Structure 1
């Protein structure tokens, strides 16, 4: 690619041959990655049946992808500089496409989790590299339009993912939610190979000790969370080992970044109050958003008996709400204090979660769609303002590393959130089952005058039906408990807003006239 200027410092931008074609191919790569963040959600119950996985195990299909993407996002910039941006992007597209095909052909839980890890690892570089290509393709006066197009392509996932995934699963097979990436990947790969020229290589070094120790810590933490409920937490030697590995690797990481000259993560980043609080903030958002999506799929399809296409359709408005409010927020930025926008977003999100705590399997499709739209609207009030306020007081030279760390925090929040709510769902269902069953006795007159009159306690079939209904009621309560937890987290996050510096309190927000853009996947 004919390299355009890298900053807004007044350089002349040359006309790039095939700019429209390059833009189209880069956007295709973003759309492919964005779709895979949500398209598999509605297919999870079908995948679960095929690979014979339990309720908590099937969520590994989601968390493995997110964790791999989280680990590989920070070093993607180094790979691009060391081996060439075009070459790395082509490898990422090819690897992502091949991993998608392998996911579609998987025959066991182990296989699909392994292939999802590969998919996440290759897909991590797609969004940040695509954004950097677009920034270099267009002069400063056109970057706003380019970033608008980029943002819309990122939002394709939440909008079309559930609907398209539901349609493919019902009309073909769950495997097609992965196979759909093949034509998109081929078009993007061929287009970039033809139209894009390679960038100048940089002789830079990666802090491998910091990268490897952080990766091990994240991987061990995810194993600890994913398998803890199944193996009785610290009662299992495996879980104890995973916890010790996580803590040990994280200790090595912390000691190393404070004692080396060029660390993988610059510890000076955490001296900036806005950025540090923003990291915590985006971690909480990661928990509340993707974890709620992971809960909705089994709720709609298992408890409510929705066909997969219907489940996808009623989940679709969530992305529309985000897209609509992001357009509104874009006009409000600079006119309204970003902290006020954040409070609005958190209150809207908390209200949506509160409404979901009162759901039962009899809730209407309209209620589900409207609540989803409102939750998505809350997210739209959070993403752009939070990104802006988190980076506004950082020196420009530190923003490259900060971007990767910021998105790492969001991804870890998502994977940790899914693991936590899944474990709580299983545990609370068991607790609620025991509590409800304790009232099903011959001495409970309410039971005797209700279900006891319809069921014969001496019949095995009647006892099985009764146990099934108790389990159903216990599961409904467990879901409500999870939604309540996410509501509380959203409300508690409001306290973080008042620790942020407002838009009028910038310090060092720009160095030497540099512009910047932050990846929000």
Structure 2
């Protein structure tokens, strides 16, 4: 394949392997950074003299900045070209990572994380768009498998890698590790990725961007801090909720009346596959990240697993995802993608059903295998879903579509994590009250302990009740995710199969 150069006077070979390696390295460091800093927070807290409440802004600032900047991807790629935007994003993310590692105060690292989020926001949607563009249709399934591994395995391996770097060196290496990887990715993009022509006539809808950004930022802040501040019992959460609702209402009204000058390309929602696909990825984001958020505290707090062991027993789910994605990329050539999607959802539901039957005493294999099964199921879902979602979308809408796709996955993960953590906290309180109601003088099993009057026995009993109550709350969360997974399966019927077109057409789309 030899697409024309931007000038049209010469041709350059399209080095797909090197382009793929370069953009996937950039995607990997961006997705890793969404979770890699989690386990290092206690070490940062002491080093930066921050309170428990303040140190969480190291995570929140990155998430909020990335969410706000993601919708800009489509417009910026038109104005700067995909190659320039990608190179700028990688360079900015790498420099911001170095600044994070060099930070000596809390404001410095929060500011650096904001920069990381802003520059990193475009990396995932751009990488997906480029892989779709440089591969013919018959190879797009395999391309989405490679892309999906970077997107889904990164957050899974983040805590494990972050824990190892923090224990072996110090928390600063959680960020310094991005510098050599980012430098290599930048070199590859500048060397091998052909340039697209820019669109200088692309107008910027400031009002649409401002209202959408305010809505997303307020929603993310509310979700991140809601559990900590007791949700609507806090004036801050009420203000953030009102700001998100009002801003989003203005954004919808503006989008409906602004026509083609709107910041959001409403043509995207006219595509049935894309509209259904972004709903699916919203649910996948909620279920996948919520499970990842539940398992580590459950293992460490209830079962006294060390941090290193927790990472080891949860990491194999990433291996299941990788195997499934490689398999799905090949199966797409032979089977209807909707059948693979259905199989993936059923396997994921089965894994959650297994998690619903956890007990307070678990062997390591009891944690590993359901995780591998769930990872395998999600891998089978992710590849055909990405392929089907964009199979009927025109190349002109692809940059905006991939940005919206990534944004919905991130919002789904934030909402999913907030819901399960809130239900877990409240469920623990309710279950504790129900179990403790049996501790009374009228219970024959309790009479010897109460007659003895030992405060130690009562304290031990209360600790046991708290453990059991927490376990009940975790199981209820797994049950909720199990039901949610089953409920979205019928929506597979809304997706059209990929249309059959000349496979060479999209190989030249990088020059469109």
TM-score between the two structures when normalised by the length of structure 2 = 0.84
Aligned to 1:346: 345
Counterpart-to-counterpart distance in 2, 1:139 and 1:146 = 10
Name whichever structure is richer in helix by fraction: 2
38 and 227 in structure 1: CA distance in 2 versus 1, 3 angstrom threshold:
closer
Q: CA deviation at 1:318?
A: 0.9
What are the superposed Cα offsets for residues 313-348 of structure 1, whole Å, 9 maximum, x if unpaired?
211211111111122222222533333222211111
Q: CA deviation at 1:490?
A: 0.5
Aligned to 1:515: 506
Q: CA deviation at 1:216?
A: 0.9
Is residue 486 of structure 1 aligned with residue 481 of structure 2?
Answer: yes
Q: CA deviation at 1:307?
A: 2.3
Counterpart-to-counterpart distance in 2, 1:236 and 1:486 = 27
Counterpart-to-counterpart distance in 2, 1:80 and 1:128 = 11
Counterpart-to-counterpart distance in 1, 2:167 and 2:61 = 25
Is residue 422 of structure 1 aligned with residue 421 of structure 2?
Answer: yes
Equivalent residue in structure 1 for 2:115, among 113, 118, 135:
118
What secondary structure is seen at the aligned counterpart in 2 of 1:79? helix
Aligned to 1:470: 465
Counterpart-to-counterpart distance in 2, 1:281 and 1:143 = 19
Counterpart-to-counterpart distance in 2, 1:138 and 1:165 = 34
Q: Does the 8 A contact of 1:396 with 1:510 survive in 2?
A: no
Aligned to 1:498: 493
Is residue 36 of structure 1 aligned with residue 60 of structure 2?
Answer: no
Q: Does the 8 A contact of 1:350 with 1:490 survive in 2?
A: yes
Q: CA deviation at 1:473?
A: 2.2
Q: CA deviation at 1:94?
A: 3.3
Q: CA deviation at 1:130?
A: 4.0
Q: CA deviation at 1:168?
A: 1.8
Aligned to 2:377: 378
Aligned to 2:240: 242
Q: Does the 8 A contact of 2:66 with 2:118 survive in 1?
A: yes
284 and 432 in structure 1: CA distance in 2 versus 1, 3 angstrom threshold:
same
Q: How many residues align?
A: 503
Counterpart-to-counterpart distance in 1, 2:296 and 2:15 = 42
Q: CA deviation at 1:352?
A: 1.1
Aligned to 2:358: 359
Counterpart-to-counterpart distance in 2, 1:407 and 1:309 = 30
What are the superposed Cα offsets for residues 355-408 of structure 1, whole Å, 9 maximum, x if unpaired?
112223421111211111100111012112222332333444433322221221
What are the superposed Cα offsets for residues 180-228 of structure 1, whole Å, 9 maximum, x if unpaired?
2233234434565677786544312222222221111111122233333
Equivalent residue in structure 1 for 2:96, among 94, 99, 121:
99
Is residue 15 of structure 1 aligned with residue 12 of structure 2?
Answer: yes
Is residue 264 of structure 1 aligned with residue 268 of structure 2?
Answer: no
15 and 399 in structure 1: CA distance in 2 versus 1, 3 angstrom threshold:
closer
Aligned to 1:404: 403
30 and 267 in structure 1: CA distance in 2 versus 1, 3 angstrom threshold:
closer
Query: Structure 2: 5+ residue runs without aligned partners?
Result: none
What are the superposed Cα offsets for residues 260-297 of structure 1, whole Å, 9 maximum, x if unpaired?
13212222332333322222111111100011111112
298 and 30 in structure 1: CA distance in 2 versus 1, 3 angstrom threshold:
same
Is residue 273 of structure 1 aligned with residue 272 of structure 2?
Answer: yes
Counterpart-to-counterpart distance in 2, 1:12 and 1:149 = 33
Counterpart-to-counterpart distance in 1, 2:135 and 2:335 = 28
Counterpart-to-counterpart distance in 2, 1:6 and 1:411 = 35
What secondary structure is seen at the aligned counterpart in 2 of 1:515? helix
What secondary structure is seen at the aligned counterpart in 2 of 1:441? coil
The correspondence of residues 22-61 of structure 1 with structure 2, limited to 5 A, is: 24-43=21-40, 52-53=51-52
What are the superposed Cα offsets for residues 453-480 of structure 1, whole Å, 9 maximum, x if unpaired?
8x96453x55444433332222222211
46 and 172 in structure 1: CA distance in 2 versus 1, 3 angstrom threshold:
same
Counterpart-to-counterpart distance in 1, 2:366 and 2:105 = 36
Q: Does the 8 A contact of 1:38 with 1:162 survive in 2?
A: yes
Is residue 164 of structure 1 aligned with residue 161 of structure 2?
Answer: yes
TM-score between the two structures when normalised by the length of structure 1 = 0.83
What secondary structure is seen at the aligned counterpart in 2 of 1:75? helix
Counterpart-to-counterpart distance in 2, 1:268 and 1:43 = 43
The correspondence of residues 326-345 of structure 1 with structure 2, limited to 5 A, is: 326-345=325-344
Q: CA deviation at 1:67?
A: 4.1
What are the superposed Cα offsets for residues 409-448 of structure 1, whole Å, 9 maximum, x if unpaired?
1111011111221222222222222222222223322334
331 and 182 in structure 1: CA distance in 2 versus 1, 3 angstrom threshold:
closer
Aligned to 2:305: 306
